[in-house]
Structure 1
């Protein structure tokens, strides 16, 4: 991205942050976004070894502390009656695992056509249906994600999809270039598909079942993911359960679960408890069981803080303990 565009986006981000509210540019375009900052400290009792898996060695190398502008995002919301869309520009101040440090990136860009009666069609680059925990930090109940060995939940990908939503039922079917590769390129040998069904049988209860399959650019075996989660909100408590089964080929399969409870202590304070596990089901595979507690506080509708303390148990390999303080500003 050229310097002029980077500077323009940075100025726009600062301007929208100062206003502390969603900006309506005109009747058809509005802007929203967030700024996410954190400080963290990690203590690993594990030792790097050539006999360890990459996941275990990464955990062994996790010792240290950091303070980051983790992420800043500007989302342009487009609305032209039956045609709508969204363009998200994302700045990553910390490493996202793909080497995108300190640069703006086109996170997603799609258009949507309203078919009426609850149906619509989307085309472009958009976020996966899968996963209870949201992709963006603004929707998380805590600082970290649940699973420390394998990130089986997809992020953004390119394609076309059909959605149906009403008060009881939500359906979705996506035809994708790839489930796990968001580069937007069209590969003759690569394709993916996602499908979901979600129901809300009673007030506060959501039950979700999703399936994703990726051809892995013509590899001998497809990548398969089954994602089930349910959440129930009653009074000031939100409960959640998630189960994942993934099979990405030889020596790359396993299961995951999380159980979470979020308690609203007051109108502005809450407390989250989470237990999660990531278990590879092949011989010599790793298991990581994670325990998380996270109190949080909101100053107002735009500014919030949270603290997290987590410990991940890798069995005989040892444990990793981390603490983090996070600030999120939304507009």
Structure 2
């Protein structure tokens, strides 16, 4: 059970109690074993993981089924975390009521989706000019642009095929993965339907891949390096209708200008038509992940760095964490995270922004099975799309594990 209070993340505060339960089944019939993980909430029951493992020896195995992605320092379930919330504001927004829209506003996806609509409104406003121009300047053979607008309705981003931001971390994906670990060196290589989205097929070249390596440099000091990739055409499909329209419109404009060069100076051509754009295409999502962690006695230190390419959005982030377990009852976590994003230069309506988030979280072990965690986080957000905002978060969580 946890209690959350968000201030200023979205138009209204989000304050609520939430209850979650996880039940994991582990089966061992060596050399074959398996796991099934269920997640329960008031929204329903989710099959988180379900996979078989075949162990060739004590170091090397093959897993097949639905599995957790490998490229994140923070785990997917509360009992394995040093605080209540995840580090990055992109993860926090995705978990808040109406937070998905807030995240799209912050990163600029909403603005991209609206840009095509703005072109449509602009052309509608220019209709009278187009009609007047056709009647005063054109004879029939010069009405190419006017005819095109009459015959092909103006389109924006396809609402039925809108792309969404991916799940950046801790996704559950279907596929196969090779795993090797001898205690000092570990390797992972996997093939999946998707890695960052809920893609359930590999049609049209859609595919998900992950590669990772870990090294125990000295006792307690571990280095991890990983790469995740997904080929996904969701973004391209969402812009394809508009791009087809804009390409044909531009061709019609150029044909008119070729037939009568003097039209180039007309307001419609000089000020508006040349501003009709094409969205750049992209069908790739990728992540490079670096983790360094050190544990000695009751002290845990961790550093994480990611570099992202999300369709037409370039992102990077860092996280630094320090946890100290003072005794069997009390532990304390300090954490800082920074995220930075920027749209590619040729993205209409694109922008840039960043976030800085600070967390303090005491954890109390009431019994061997009952833990209480309290957390306060504060984030400063700066975006060309939403301006400067701040977020205050308060969490209280009880965890009963057995």
Question: Given the two structures, how large is their TM-score scaled by the length of structure 2?
Answer: 0.65
Partner Cα distance (1:248, 1:65) in 2: 31
CA shift digits 1:99-143 (9 cap, x unpaired):
xx2x11211110000011511001111011110011111211111
Q: Tell me, yes or no, if structure 1 residue 277 matches structure 2 residue 348.
A: no
- Greater C-alpha Rg: 2
Which residue in the other structure is 1:87 paired with?
36
Q: Secondary structure at the match of 1:144?
A: coil
Which residue in the other structure is 2:14 paired with?
64
Partner Cα distance (1:136, 1:120) in 2: 24
Per-residue deviation, 1:211: 0.1
Partner Cα distance (1:296, 1:215) in 2: 40
Per-residue deviation, 1:267: 1.5
Is the 8 Å Cα contact of residues 21 and 39 (structure 2) preserved in structure 1? yes
Partner Cα distance (2:351, 2:221) in 1: 38
Partner Cα distance (1:234, 1:271) in 2: 15
Q: Tell me, yes or no, if structure 1 residue 326 matches structure 2 residue 397.
A: yes
Which residue in the other structure is 2:372 paired with?
305
- Paired residue total: 271
Is the 8 Å Cα contact of residues 177 and 186 (structure 1) preserved in structure 2? yes
Partner Cα distance (1:62, 1:143) in 2: 22
More divergent stretch after superposition (137-146 vs 282-291):
282-291
Which residue in the other structure is 2:305 paired with?
243
Question: Given the two structures, how large is their TM-score scaled by the length of structure 1?
Answer: 0.78
CA shift digits 1:17-39 (9 cap, x unpaired):
xxxxxxxxxxxxxxxxxxxx111
Q: Give the unaligned 5+ runs of structure 1.
A: 1-36, 45-58, 94-100
Partner Cα distance (1:108, 1:202) in 2: 32
Q: Secondary structure at the match of 2:218?
A: coil
Structure-to-structure mapping, 1:184-223, within 5 angstroms: 184-217=200-233, 220-223=282-285
Change (3 A) 1:211 1:62: farther
What is the aligned counterpart of 2:359 among 284, 292, 297?
Answer: 292
Partner Cα distance (1:270, 1:256) in 2: 26
Is the 8 Å Cα contact of residues 168 and 196 (structure 2) preserved in structure 1? no
Which residue in the other structure is 2:321 paired with?
260
Change (3 A) 1:274 1:174: same
Which residue in the other structure is 1:34 paired with?
none
Partner Cα distance (1:210, 1:285) in 2: 26
Per-residue deviation, 1:221: 3.0
Change (3 A) 1:303 1:254: same
Q: Tell me, yes or no, if structure 1 residue 43 matches structure 2 residue 7.
A: yes
Between structures 1 and 2, the one with greater strand share: 1
What is the aligned counterpart of 2:78 among 125, 129, 137?
Answer: 137
Which residue in the other structure is 1:78 paired with?
27
CA shift digits 1:275-305 (9 cap, x unpaired):
1011103362221100000000012221100
Per-residue deviation, 1:186: 4.5
Between structures 1 and 2, the one with greater helix share: 2
Partner Cα distance (1:154, 1:265) in 2: 29
Q: Secondary structure at the match of 2:82?
A: coil
Cα-Cα RMSD:
1.7
